[in-house]
Amino acid sequence: MRGRFVIVVGPSGAGKGTLVRYVLEAVPAISYAQSFVTRGMRPGEVNGEMYHFVSQEEFDKKIQQGDFLEWAEFGGNYYGTALSSVMPELEKGNIILKEVEVQGARQILEKIPRKSLFIIFIHAGSWGALEKRIRGRAPISEEEVAKRKGRYDDEMSFIQKADVIIENNDGSIEVAKKKIQEAVESLL
């Protein structure tokens, strides 16, 4: 495998999505490995861009057929990366990028040789700072906040595996954009 699979990980609410969208535009030589997902489309999302929106039945069928490199349940929805959107690209020597939550990232580490991987961890400060951000973004129940805290700790444990750690605290998005661009360009 001559290519490189760049995975972007970090706690939910750390701004991974913004940084991923930015770097895909800033570095046209890389492409995104899309997800299959069972959740509904959000305003502004386009089917086939970052996500393929599918039914639970279609998703289950893909699991049974062994189509996924990794898949995980997150917040009651299922997310997965098709083998076909990663392996052929790595064989061709391409650089592909993908944002995943931590369960998927662990599966990827088990299946893809470490030297073919590049792990970018987006760090958004303490739980306290993140909690403020999450609460400010949309109405959220206390039960959900507690669940997020558990997930935060789980996601943070992945920081030890990172090749690059990018700080994205409030007000540092422009610096974070430059850093992710530099990290990805260093692989070209």
Among 19, 72, 176, 180, binds ligand 5GP (CB under 6 A): 72
Residue 151, interface with ligand 5GP (CB under 6 A)?
no
Residue 35, interface with ligand 5GP (CB under 6 A)?
yes
175 alpha carbon, distance to own chain's centre: 20
Is 110 in contact with 83 (CB distance < 8 Å)?
Answer: no
Taking the complex as a whole, how short is the minimal distance between the CB of residue 138 and ligand 5GP, in angstroms? 11
By C-beta, is 103 or 172 nearer to ligand 5GP?
103
Residue 79, interface with ligand 5GP (CB under 6 A)?
yes
Hey, which residues between 106 and 135 contact ligand 5GP (CB under 6 A)? none
Among 4, 13, 104, 118, binds ligand 5GP (CB under 6 A): 104
Residue 168, interface with ligand 5GP (CB under 6 A)?
no
Residue 89, interface with ligand 5GP (CB under 6 A)?
no
Supply the DSSP string of the chain, one letter for each residue. Answer: --SEEEEEE--TTSSHHHHHHHHHHH-TT-EE--EEE-SPPPTT--BTTTEEE--HHHHHHHHHHT-EEEEEEETTEEEEEEGGGTHHHHHHT-EEEEE--HHHHHHHHHHS-GGGEEEEEEE---HHHHHHHHHHHS---HHHHHHHHHHHHHHHGGGGG-SEEEE--TT-HHHHHHHHHHHHHTT-
Taking the complex as a whole, how short is the minimal distance between the CB of residue 141 and ligand 5GP, in angstroms? 17
Which residue lies nearest ligand 5GP, judged by its C-beta?
A: 104
Residue 12, interface with ligand 5GP (CB under 6 A)?
yes
Residue 39, interface with ligand 5GP (CB under 6 A)?
yes
Question: What are the residues binding ligand 5GP (CB under 6 A)?
Answer: 12, 16, 35, 39, 70, 72, 74, 79-81, 99-101, 103-104
